[in-house]
Structure 1
């Protein structure tokens, strides 16, 4: 079940990467690169930090899902763009899932709660950061104007805290993921934004 949810999150992230490729007028190869980086980049970065073989290179599905998302966007990107609000909700679910799972894996490999939280955030937003850099955009992590990294931080922190309190397994993962998901969706609906430095206007 966890792998299915993981692949769903990868699929949604890959859609957003491929759509970025369309907006940047990239060819099919460029779209695939952005889709793959968005979907898999965070998990690969996490596993490299943990010094383990990235899970993306252990299962064929982790490679085929971004390819499938790219094909869908390549042929039907106007239709995909029209359902973007629904995709953003799924993206928020992927954000919550990845930050919780990333933190949990970091804890399993012996990282302390603070470092595990940071690695959970990396899992959730690392792919999007790589996508933005490749596409020539300001990374969301550095310009969190719609509360994207903040929900990941809170979800990862909650996962680390629950683990410290002796709560493990899917209930803890679900609780942390729901927290990040709920905050992200609320931020989108209410247009919450991270503050700028004092005296700096919008």
Structure 2
């Protein structure tokens, strides 16, 4: 099995786990667990495939569905043993983000041959599942947190794409992209890395606008 395929399966598994952990925090039933886990694991890839105009990945390969089911059951029966489920969720999310940033970039580059498209599909694949999970679970959105998130996905996708276009072996490109994305997101979690934020001036009252 190619490393890129392993990263794809791993990304689905860990994102499914984060969705199931979010369901455990909301004390949902088993169907709620499965729905949230599956939506988190497949959301980004589904949007990516629809944009690229290719068959949706989990429809053509039901292994992804079985992975979601297995992970859901595992978390359903074991989540209560984890002392800090939210902290585990964040670190698993970082692993999934790193894996999907590479997988999304690889698919975008293979289908279109365009580096910018590959970076965007990598970023979208990696970030959308976590955003969807937080939206459905009414958790604080990782997208709106001030810690670096989408930037980590873009860094991983860009690293993979640049090294791949340079002619390096795919495994090297994939490992490098994964390491960069995880290092950036992990650093943000550990050291609270942030990008400069927009500092606006107060808006003018409508009556003062000519």
TM-score by length of 2: 0.83
Contact 2:16 2:38 in 1 (8 A): yes
Equivalent positions of 1:11-30 (< 5 A) are: 11-30=13-32
| Aligned match of 1:123 | 125
Write the distance in 1 (CA, Å) between the matches of 2:88 and 2:147: 16
Contact 1:12 1:87 in 2 (8 A): no
Contact 1:46 1:119 in 2 (8 A): yes
Over aligned residue pairs, what C-alpha RMSD do you find? 2.3
Contact 1:103 1:117 in 2 (8 A): yes
Give 1:192 shift. 1.8
| Aligned match of 1:184 | 185
Evaluate the alpha carbon distance shift between residue 150 and residue 196 of structure 1 in structure 2; reply closer, same or farther with a 3 A threshold.
same
Structure 1, unaligned stretches of length 5 or more?
A: none
Evaluate the alpha carbon distance shift between residue 154 and residue 7 of structure 1 in structure 2; reply closer, same or farther with a 3 A threshold.
same
| Aligned match of 1:155 | 156
Alignment coverage as a number of residue pairs = 199
Q: Which has the larger radius of gyration?
A: 2
1:39 partnered with 2:41: yes
Give 1:179 shift. 0.8
Write the distance in 1 (CA, Å) between the matches of 2:101 and 2:195: 19
TM-score by length of 1: 0.86
Tell which deviates more after alignment, 158-167 or 54-63: 158-167
Evaluate the alpha carbon distance shift between residue 80 and residue 9 of structure 1 in structure 2; reply closer, same or farther with a 3 A threshold.
farther
Contact 1:9 1:90 in 2 (8 A): no
Of 114, 119, 140, the residue aligned with 1:112 is: 114
| Aligned match of 2:12 | 10
Contact 1:100 1:177 in 2 (8 A): yes
Structure 2, unaligned stretches of length 5 or more?
A: 202-210
| Aligned match of 2:54 | 52
